[in-house]
């Protein structure tokens, strides 16, 4: 996968992309990062990328020319099919694991990270394929949001995680929150690991994990249950969990 990022603060990405899973993914050849300062595409000697809004009002607006030229240049240089051009924006669709899985199937992603008051509307209408928001709040710029999306997508690429089952069992991938995890020691300050996990009975362990996943989702994110088609047998467990919580 090729990941291009347009930002006027490209140095922000060095620490994130240069460590942990994201860096290992690049070393394995699963992904190639390219951080572009779109000021370099400005058609004026001061490399101005923003201007006052028509009609007046507070703040500055990102001009279309530098961003259009940057995206068009990156698309021209790309050797893969048409990329997804993603605008990080609080007005975009709220980001989900489903969207991460969708984007992980692409060959080329281009992220546009804005600042100031917003984007010229022509960027939104005629250049981008996706508008994404990572939550109902406003950040100083789109860089942090882009990092979140890149992290969640790259970890899904084949061969990036040590175990292919890791992301399949993640919270949200199944529609439910993940079950609790424990490791050694079995008894820490009198706090003990559930006996079933020490039993060696994998059927019972799997059943416990499924029930606890269901319990945690019911307790913390009941809204997820409304949007999830539960496998056969889960309905009975959910009824028991609801009765216990009354």
Rounded Cα gap, residues 26 and 28, in angstroms: 5
d(C-alpha 230, C-alpha 58), whole Å: 49
CB 175 within 8 A of CB 218: no
Q: Which residues are catalytic?
A: 90, 117, 155, 170
Report the alpha-carbon distance of residue 103 to residue 97 in Å, rounded. Answer: 10
Instruction: Kindly state the average pLDDT of the residues 117-134.
Output: 95
Position 216 pLDDT exceeds 70? yes
Instruction: Please give the pLDDT value at position 102.
Output: 98
Write the CA distances from 113 to 41, 67, 134, 153, 241, integer angstroms.
Answer: 15, 10, 13, 17, 44
Q: Angle at which helices 234-244 and 202-220 pack, to 10 degrees?
A: 60
- Which pLDDT band holds residue 171 (cuts at 50, 70, 90)? low
Q: What is the pLDDT of residue 233?
A: 85
137 annotated to a ligand binding site? yes
Residue 98 predicted with pLDDT over 90: yes
The mean pLDDT of 37-51, rounded to a whole number, is 96
Q: Given a cut of 80, is residue 162 above it in pLDDT?
A: no
Q: Work out the average pLDDT over 118-146.
A: 96
pLDDT band at 169 (very low <50, low <70, confident <90, very high): low
Question: Higher-confidence residue: 126 or 169?
Answer: 126
User: Domain 2-154 is in which class?
Assistant: alpha beta
Q: Where are the domains of the chain?
A: 2-154, 169-244
Task: Tell me whether residue 29 is annotated as binding.
Answer: no
Q: Is 145 annotated as a binding residue?
A: no
Bond before 97 cis per omega within 30 degrees:
no
Mean pLDDT for all residues in the chain: 93
Domains 2-154 and 169-244 alike in fold: no
What pLDDT is recorded for position 168?
A: 55
Write the pLDDT tens digit of every residue in 1-24.
Answer: 999 999 999 999 999 999 999 999
State the DSSP code for 164: T
233 carries a ligand binding annotation: no
- Whether 151 has a binding-site annotation, put simply, is no
pLDDT at 49 (0 to 100):
96
With CA atoms as reference, report the closest residue to 172 among 228, 131, 130.
228
Architecture of the domain made up of 169-244? Orthogonal Bundle (1.10)
């Amino acid at each position: 996968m090729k990941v291009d990022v347009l930002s006027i603060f490209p140095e922000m990405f060095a620490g994130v992309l240069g460590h942990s899973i994201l860096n290992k993914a690049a070393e394995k050849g699963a992904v190639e990062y390219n951080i572009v300062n779109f000021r370099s595409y400005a058609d004026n000697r001061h490399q101005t990328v923003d201007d006052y809004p028509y009609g007046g009002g507070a703040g500055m607006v990102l001009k279309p020319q530098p961003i259009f030229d940057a995206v068009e240049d990156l698309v021209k240089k790309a050797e893969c099919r048409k990329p997804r051009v993603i605008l990080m924006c609080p007005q975009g669709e709220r980001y989900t694991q489903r969207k991460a899985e969708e984007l992980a199937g692409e060959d080329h992603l281009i992220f546009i990270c804005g600042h100031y008051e917003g984007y010229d509307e022509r960027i939104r209408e005629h250049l981008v394929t996706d508008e994404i928001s990572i939550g109902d709040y406003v950040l100083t710029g789109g860089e942090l949001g882009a990092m979140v999306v890149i992290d969640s997508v790259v970890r899904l690429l084949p061969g990036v995680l040590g175990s292919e089952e890791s992301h399949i069992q993640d919270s949200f991938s199944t529609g439910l929150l993940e079950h609790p995890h424990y490791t050694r020691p079995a008894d820490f300050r009198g706090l003990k690991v559930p006996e079933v996990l020490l039993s060696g009975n994998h059927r019972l362990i799997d059943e416990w994990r499924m029930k606890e996943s269901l319990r945690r989702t019911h307790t913390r994110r009941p809204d997820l249950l409304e949007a999830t088609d539960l496998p056969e047998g889960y309905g009975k467990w959910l009824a028991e969990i609801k009765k216990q919580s009354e």
